[in-house]
Structure 1
Amino acid sequence: MTGYARAQGADDLRRWVWEARSVNGRNLEVRCRVPQGFERLENPARTAAGAKLRRGNISLSLTVASERSSKPLRINRALLGELSVLVAEMRQAGATAPSADGLLRVRGVIEEEEQGEESEEALVRLDKALSDTLDAALKALASARAAEGKALATVISGHVDEIEGLCTRAAERAQAQIGTVRARFQTQLAELLDRAPALSEERFAQEVALLVGKADVREELDRLSAHVAQARTLLAEARPDNPVGRKFDFLCQEFNREANTLCSKSADIELTRIGIDLKGAIERMREQVQNVE
């Protein structure tokens, strides 16, 4: 969900630039920064971003610059008149009076002329132009995120294949786990029989069945296989108008839950190693899923 876009516009009085940045985020969070006097655009900008994006931390910034190199100048005639009176008095007193250009250098004699406020109609046109430029920036940002998503689909698909391969290995190893449990129980039983009465064959079979049942991971493997199929379905259905990031994020939690149960029920070192590798593959996929809208 990372991306950057920029769009600019201008009218007779000013030019402006909208910049839109996006980084990963579980939910949608939009921050907007505008110049003083344009605060009215913040809420509409957030609404526009929410209409095009579903997840990520979005930063919008607006820069506005005047097209005029400087403001028109005017002479403060009232102040100049007061200074002229003082100059006349100085001359009457025989003092050296300042020249005309000296008077013009006095602070406040020459001022920048303030522009009048724009009409309501002009402000409406300006806001419409600024909104159109923002829309262009958001569309470009969405396109950049979509391009990243297309590349991520290949990466995530590779993680799904890795998880499926580990599940296949775990299923094969789970069959050998039954024999491991039986052999371990027999060894422990032999140690107990040295200090306890003989155990009947029927009781022995019951104990073995109980241990095997606790170590049976077929249910977890079946759910993992179902999750793999669901992950592939989500990848196939992912489109700009059909975001799947939240669903995929939840699916990764389910993947991790089954992998944890698999490790806790494992009675075989090799199966435990496979379970740990499986958790690592799921975590790598989850990190990439955080980039998916």
Structure 2
Amino acid sequence: MTIRSMTGFGRAKGSLGEEWTAEVIARSVNHRFLDVTVKVRENEIDLEPVLRRVFSRHVARGKVEVALRLKRSTPAPTVIAIDEGLLEALLARFALLAEHYPVSGRLEARDLLTIPQIFSVETSGNGFTPDDLAALEAIAREAALALVAMRETEGALVSADLTERIEFLEKRLHRLSLRRGEIAGKALETLRERLRPLLSEPGLDPGRLEQEAALAVDRSDVAEELQRLEGHLEQFASLLSSSDEPVGKKLDFLAQEILRELNTLGSKGRDLQMIREVLEMKSETEKIREQVQNLE
């Protein structure tokens, strides 16, 4: 599966039978989970499940906003309804008032138009046929594929950048691994120098001091951290090169683990060059974390 970013845009347009023209527009940004929002008008609510189903099928993670723009290709047939019962009651009431009060004249059509309850104009043919729904699904699929294509294009750029940064960390890790024995030897020698003044103190066993110094150096050894770092970097590179599912969350977790091991290395480090190397690696790992948070 190609590495995908969570940022993208897709658009598609087509016809729904002979009456409608539909345009589907989709935008996506970063999000921890999949969140699909579909914007349709009230009389198009039957189309919302179709759009949601299509985009949920093609996108695994991110906040996706889908908008539907639906226009009629032909004028909609209209029906004018008249409430004849209300009209008859109104006329009868007017005639009754004319008998008892000085009310003269007659009601004109323009007078009746001022009473909104008498007339209603309705548009017929608002229902969507199964063929319309199938056509909309095809348009939505085209828009979803365009969105995915843009996410894959950006994902490829992010993947290339991450690959370079992982290679940088691997080179630095290799240098630290080669110097592990040297670093441990320097640490032991430094500790011996600090303990040397104590050797002349009465009651202190030189052998015991040497043993404690060796134990202190052993506790500061970074072999395990270096080994775990190597494993994390190998797994990270493997996920970037080949994966059958979205890897954004896995890469984010690995980046956190890499940073945790580097923090441990920094806390154990007494060698100035090692500390500098670790600081550079931590800075690079922070950049990696920023990048992977944009991956699906």
TM-score range relative to shorter protein: 0.7 to 0.9
Change (3 A) 1:181 1:279: same
State the partner residue of 2:133. Answer: 127
How many Å apart are 1:220 and its aligned residue?
1.8
Equivalent position to 1:276, from 274, 279, 282: 279
1:266 aligns with 2:272: no
The AA in structure 1 aligned to 2:249 is: R
How many Å apart are 1:143 and its aligned residue?
0.8
How many Å apart are 1:193 and its aligned residue?
4.0
State the partner residue of 1:154. Answer: 160
1:243 aligns to what SS in structure 2?
Answer: coil
How far apart are the structure 1 equivalents of 2:105 and 2:13? 54
Segments of structure 1 that go 5 or more residues without pairing to the other structure are none
How many Å apart are 1:144 and its aligned residue?
0.9
Segments of structure 2 that go 5 or more residues without pairing to the other structure are 1-5
1:49 aligns to what SS in structure 2?
Answer: helix
How many Å apart are 1:157 and its aligned residue?
0.9
The AA in structure 1 aligned to 2:295 is: V
How many Å apart are 1:208 and its aligned residue?
2.7
How many Å apart are 1:187 and its aligned residue?
3.3
How many Å apart are 1:7 and its aligned residue?
1.7
Equivalent position to 1:247, from 245, 250, 257: 250
How many Å apart are 1:264 and its aligned residue?
2.3
State the partner residue of 2:38. Answer: 32
State the partner residue of 2:228. Answer: 223
State the partner residue of 2:208. Answer: 203
State the partner residue of 2:124. Answer: 115
How many Å apart are 1:14 and its aligned residue?
3.0
How many residues matched?
287
How far apart are the structure 2 equivalents of 1:113 and 1:28? 39
Q: Deviations over 1:245-280 (max 9, x none)?
A: 333233223322321221222122332232222222
The AA in structure 2 aligned to 1:131 is: E
Q: How does 1:92-103 map to 2 (within 5 A)?
A: 102-103=110-111
How far apart are the structure 2 equivalents of 1:105 and 1:68? 28
How far apart are the structure 1 equivalents of 2:126 and 2:279? 68
Query: More displaced, 148-157 or 243-252?
Result: 243-252
How many Å apart are 1:41 and its aligned residue?
4.1
TM-score normalised to structure 2 length: 0.78
How far apart are the structure 2 equivalents of 1:208 and 1:191? 14
User: Larger relative contact order (C-alpha < 8 A, sep ≥ 6)?
Assistant: 2
State the partner residue of 1:174. Answer: 180
How many Å apart are 1:242 and its aligned residue?
4.0
The AA in structure 2 aligned to 1:166 is: R
How far apart are the structure 1 equivalents of 2:65 and 2:188? 61
How many Å apart are 1:158 and its aligned residue?
1.3
CA contact (8 A) 1:80 1:103 kept: no
Equivalent position to 1:48, from 50, 54, 74: 54
How far apart are the structure 2 equivalents of 1:258 and 1:45? 44
State the partner residue of 2:3. Answer: none
How many Å apart are 1:95 and its aligned residue?
9.1
Change (3 A) 1:282 1:208: same
Change (3 A) 1:116 1:178: closer
How far apart are the structure 1 equivalents of 2:90 and 2:195? 116
CA contact (8 A) 2:76 2:125 kept: no
The AA in structure 2 aligned to 1:136 is: E
How far apart are the structure 2 equivalents of 1:196 and 1:34? 89
2:42 aligns to what SS in structure 1?
Answer: coil
Kindly report the root-mean-square deviation, in angstroms, between the aligned alpha carbons of the 2 structures.
3.5
How far apart are the structure 2 equivalents of 1:32 and 1:162? 43
Q: Deviations over 1:131-180 (max 9, x none)?
A: 22211111111111111111112111111122112213323443332233
Q: Deviations over 1:223-255 (max 9, x none)?
A: 3223333222222215xx543333323322332
